[in-house]
Structure 1
Amino acid sequence: MGRPRKALLDRERIGATALQLVDEKGDFSVPEVARRLGVQTASVYHHVDGRAGVIELLRERVTDAIDPGTLHDASWDRALAAWARSYRAAFAAHPRTIPMLMTSPVRAPKVLAQYERVAGMLLDAGFDPSAVLPVITGLDNIVLGSALDMSAPRIMWEVSDGTRAPRLSAAQDAAGPARADQAFELTLTGFLAHCRELLERQAP
Structure 2
Amino acid sequence: MHVEYSGTGDPARSLALLWRTRDRASRGGDLGVDRIVRAAIEVADADGLAALSMRRVAERLGVGTMSLYTHVPGKGELLDLMLDTVHGETPRPADVPGGWRGRLERIARDTWALYLRHPWLLQVATTRPPLGPQVTARYDYELRAVEGIGLTDLEMDAVVTLVDSYVHGAVRGAVEAARAARDTGLTDEQWWRAHAPYLEKVMDPARFPTAARVGAAAGEEYQAATDPARAFDFGLARVLDGIAALIAHRSADVTPPTAPR
**Superposition TM-score tier, normalisation by shorter sequence:** 0.7 to 0.9
Q: Deviations over 1:133-161 (max 9, x none)?
A: 32122111222233322223336987775
- The whole-number CA distance in structure 2 between the counterparts of 1:113 and 1:137 is 15
> Is residue 122–residue 132 contact of structure 1 (8 Å, CA) maintained in 2?
yes
- The whole-number CA distance in structure 2 between the counterparts of 1:121 and 1:190 is 18
- The whole-number CA distance in structure 2 between the counterparts of 1:56 and 1:123 is 28
113 and 129 in structure 1: CA distance in 2 versus 1, 3 angstrom threshold: same
- TM-score (norm. length: structure 1): 0.80
Question: How far off is 1:16 after superposition?
Answer: 1.9
> Which of 132, 135, 155 matches 1:131?
155
- TM-score (norm. length: structure 2): 0.65
Root-mean-square deviation (CA, aligned residues, Å) is 2.9
> Is residue 17–residue 36 contact of structure 1 (8 Å, CA) maintained in 2?
yes
Question: How far off is 1:175 after superposition?
Answer: 2.4
> Which of 127, 130, 134 matches 1:106?
130
1:197 has 2:245 as partner: yes
> Is residue 23–residue 97 contact of structure 1 (8 Å, CA) maintained in 2?
no
State the match for 1:55 in structure 2. 79
Q: Please give the secondary structure, in 2, of the residue aligned with 1:125.
A: coil
> Which of 18, 29, 34 matches 1:12?
34
Q: Please give the secondary structure, in 1, of the residue aligned with 2:248.
A: helix
- The whole-number CA distance in structure 2 between the counterparts of 1:148 and 1:94 is 12
Larger Rg: 2
- The whole-number CA distance in structure 2 between the counterparts of 1:85 and 1:95 is 15
Alignment of 1:1-204 (within 5 A): 7-27=29-49, 28-69=52-93, 72-73=95-96, 75-100=99-124, 102=126, 105-153=129-177, 154=188, 161=199, 164=203, 166-167=212-213, 168-176=215-223, 179-203=227-251, 204=254
174 and 79 in structure 1: CA distance in 2 versus 1, 3 angstrom threshold: same
Question: How far off is 1:68 after superposition?
Answer: 0.9
- The whole-number CA distance in structure 2 between the counterparts of 1:73 and 1:196 is 17
> Is residue 26–residue 97 contact of structure 1 (8 Å, CA) maintained in 2?
no
Q: Deviations over 1:40-69 (max 9, x none)?
A: 334323323522322233223433331111
Question: How far off is 1:31 after superposition?
Answer: 2.8
- The whole-number CA distance in structure 2 between the counterparts of 1:138 and 1:87 is 13
Q: Deviations over 1:109-142 (max 9, x none)?
A: 1121111122233242221122223212211122
Which stretches in structure 1 are left out of the alignment for 5+ residues? Answer: 1-5
Q: Which amino acid aligns with 1:30?
A: M
> Is residue 59–residue 101 contact of structure 1 (8 Å, CA) maintained in 2?
no
- The whole-number CA distance in structure 1 between the counterparts of 2:44 and 2:132 is 18
Q: Tell me how many residue pairs correspond in the alignment.
A: 198
Q: Which amino acid aligns with 2:240?
A: L
Q: Which amino acid aligns with 1:105?
A: P
- The whole-number CA distance in structure 2 between the counterparts of 1:18 and 1:169 is 44
> Is residue 96–residue 102 contact of structure 2 (8 Å, CA) maintained in 1?
yes
Q: Deviations over 1:155-199 (max 9, x none)?
A: 698777585263425423312479222111111111111111111
